[in-house]
Amino acid sequence: MRSKARECAFKIIYASIFHAEEGDSLRRGVYKSSMLDEEEREYSDLLVASVFEHREELTRILDELSVGFSEKRLFPVDKSLLLMAMAEIRYIEGVPAVVAIDEAVGLAKKYSTEKSAGFVNGVLAAFISGGNNK
**75-98 pLDDT, tens digit each:** 999 999 999 999 999 999 999 999
81 with 43: CB under 8 angstroms?
A: no
How far from chain centre, in Å, is Cα 95? 14
Task: Output the pLDDT for position 121.
Answer: 95
Question: pLDDT at position 83, please?
Answer: 96
- Which of residues 1 and 74 earns the better pLDDT score? 74
C-alpha separations of 89 from 13, 93, 100 in Å: 16, 8, 7
Could you state, in order of their start, the residue ranges of all structural domains in the chain?
2-129
> Is residue 15 classed exposed, middle or buried when 0-12, 13-18 and 19+ CB atoms within 10 A define those classes?
middle
The percent helix, strand, coil of the chain (3-state, each to 5) is: 80, 0, 20
Q: What's the start-to-end Cα distance of the chain, in Å?
A: 22
> Does domain 2-129 fall into CATH 1.10.940.10?
yes
DSSP label of 66: S
> pLDDT by residue (tens digit) across 2-48?
999 999 999 999 988 887 665 677 888 888 889 999 999 999 999 99
Q: pLDDT tens for residues 34-46? A: 999 999 999 999 9
For 39-43, 116-120, 127-131, which range has the lowest pLDDT when averaged over its residues? Answer: 127-131
Of the candidates 132, 30, 127, 114, the one whose C-alpha atom is nearest the C-alpha of residue 78 is 114
